[in-house]
């Protein structure tokens, strides 16, 4: 169930992001970008990352694998990326600090 929830969350978030999507390597705010705060983004700022982490943990739990503990490694990378992205978003969008206070970082109603 965690795998399916994570997969669904990532796909829905990607679709809702629309033209505001950028690759992880190119993560920068462009002039055409807008701050997305509707749909799942109303509740969570980084639902693709959160969904991917839930997917990974759900898969490892379903396989009853000790590798679930290795999910900490991508989590560290994701947290570094998120900090960089959030600094860029705060500079690009005046309302970003309000959005941060009103939403969770990765998982709706949790973290």
d(CA 24, CA 88): 13
Give φ, ψ of 90 to 5 degrees: -65, -35
Kindly state whether residue 107 falls inside one of the protein's structural domains.
no
Kindly state whether residue 40 falls inside one of the protein's structural domains.
yes
Mean per-residue pLDDT, 48-60: 89
- Residues of the chain with pLDDT > 70, as a percent, come to 95
d(CA 41, CA 52): 15
Residues 65-102 have pLDDT tens digits of 777 777 778 888 888 889 999 999 999 999 999 999 99
Tell me if residue 75 falls in helix, strand or coil. helix
Kindly state whether residue 29 falls inside one of the protein's structural domains.
no
Kindly state whether residue 111 falls inside one of the protein's structural domains.
no
Kindly state whether residue 109 falls inside one of the protein's structural domains.
no
Kindly state whether residue 69 falls inside one of the protein's structural domains.
yes
d(CA 85, CA 69): 26
Structural domains of the chain, count: 1
- Fill in the DSSP letter of residue 54: H
Q: Structural domain of residue 98, as residue ranges?
A: 2-24+34-102
């Amino acid at each position: 169930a965690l795998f399916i929830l994570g997969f669904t969350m990532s796909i829905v978030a990607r679709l809702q992001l629309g033209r505001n999507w950028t690759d992880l390597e190119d993560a920068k705010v462009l002039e055409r970008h807008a701050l997305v705060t509707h749909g799942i983004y109303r509740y969570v700022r980084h639902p693709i990352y959160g969904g991917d982490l839930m997917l990974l943990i759900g898969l490892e739990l379903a396989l009853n694998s000790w590798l679930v503990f290795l999910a900490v490694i991508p989590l560290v990378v994701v947290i570094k990326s998120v900090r960089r992205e959030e600094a860029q978003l705060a500079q690009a969008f005046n309302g970003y600090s309000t959005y941060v206070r009103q939403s969770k970082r990765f998982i709706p109603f949790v973290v």
